[in-house]
């Protein structure tokens, strides 16, 4: 390809540009915000306790309401649905991960060559997913939301930005989707849990894929 391709249409015109994942209560009345924050923390604490004790499958809106000793309607008002609740549980690690590749030290953060950053990004994502695999799987958005949730759009935009620095003649937006498919929680779960593939092999496979896509030499070792 010799011409710069137009960007893909944004499926959500009101959400243009990457932004940190936010599961919030911005529409709460000011006088209720402190209580809302305490209730939210209480609900998340109850959900985290259920996952630790019984696994992610045990986290239903009803179970969290019972564990937190609140009405089921409170949980629905705070998080919308089960996916919203589980995504909120991932909020802290998501923000920490985003900070690491947006402003952290190289090679994951700024200051390293784009290929090194891309390689580090995928390996860091694989390690994070492996550490939170059960929760990541449970919080996986439905097919119609999978590519539009704010956190996923930030990750995709970051990969697009790095690819454009290395292979500007490629359709980097579509190529980023292809690369990100190798990092999906469902595939990582299949390879790690069902196929018993070591995490080190997944990281090496990501580094090899990056080298082939960017037409650069793989790192030694």
HEC assignment per residue over the chain: CCCCCCCCCCCCHHHCCCCCCCCCCCCCCHHHHHHHHHHHHHHHHHHHHHHHHHCHHHCCHHHHHHHHCCCHHHHHHHHCCHHHHHHHHCHHHHHHHHHHHHHCCCCCCCCCCHHHHHHHHHHHHHHHHHHCHHHHHHCCCCCCCCCCCHHHHHHHHHHHHHHHHHCCCCCHHHHHHHHHHCCCHHHHHHHHHHCCCCHHHHHHHHHHHHHHHHCCCCCCC
Q: Which positions of the chain have pLDDT values less than 50?
A: 1-2, 12-32
* Residue 148 pLDDT: 86
* Residue 206 pLDDT: 98
pTM, two decimals, is 0.73
* Residue 18 pLDDT: 41
* Residue 9 pLDDT: 61
For the domain covering 30-89, report its CATH number.
1.10.10.60
Domain ranges of the chain: 30-89, 90-214
Cα–Cα distance measured from residue 107 to residue 100, given in angstroms and rounded to the nearest whole number: 10
Cα–Cα distance measured from residue 181 to residue 124, given in angstroms and rounded to the nearest whole number: 15
Count Cβ atoms below 10 Å from residue 5 Cβ, excluding itself: 12
């Amino acid at each position: 390809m010799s011409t710069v391709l137009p960007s893909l249409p944004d499926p959500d015109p009101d959400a243009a540009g990457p932004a940190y994942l936010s599961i919030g209560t911005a529409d709460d009345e000011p006088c209720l915000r402190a209580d809302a924050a305490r209730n939210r923390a209480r609900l998340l604490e109850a959900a985290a306790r259920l996952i630790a004790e019984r696994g992610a499958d045990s986290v239903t809106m009803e179970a969290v309401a019972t564990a937190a000793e609140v009405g089921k309607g409170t949980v629905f008002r705070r998080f919308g649905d089960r996916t919203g609740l589980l995504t909120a549980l991932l909020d802290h690690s998501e923000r920490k991960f985003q900070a690491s590749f947006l402003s952290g030290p190289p090679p994951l953060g700024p200051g390293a060559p784009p290929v090194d950053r891309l390689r580090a990004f995928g390996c860091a994502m694989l390690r994070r997913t492996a550490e939170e695999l059960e929760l990541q799987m449970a919080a996986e958005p439905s097919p119609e939301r999978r590519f539009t949730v704010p956190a996923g759009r930030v990750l995709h935009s970051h990969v697009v930005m790095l690819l454009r620095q290395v292979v500007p003649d490629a359709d980097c937006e579509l190529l980023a989707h292809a690369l990100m498919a190798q990092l999906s929680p469902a595939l990582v779960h299949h390879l790690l849990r069902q196929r018993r593939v070591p995490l080190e092999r997944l990281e090496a496979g990501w580094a090899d894929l990056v080298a082939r896509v960017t037409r650069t030499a793989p790192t030694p070792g």
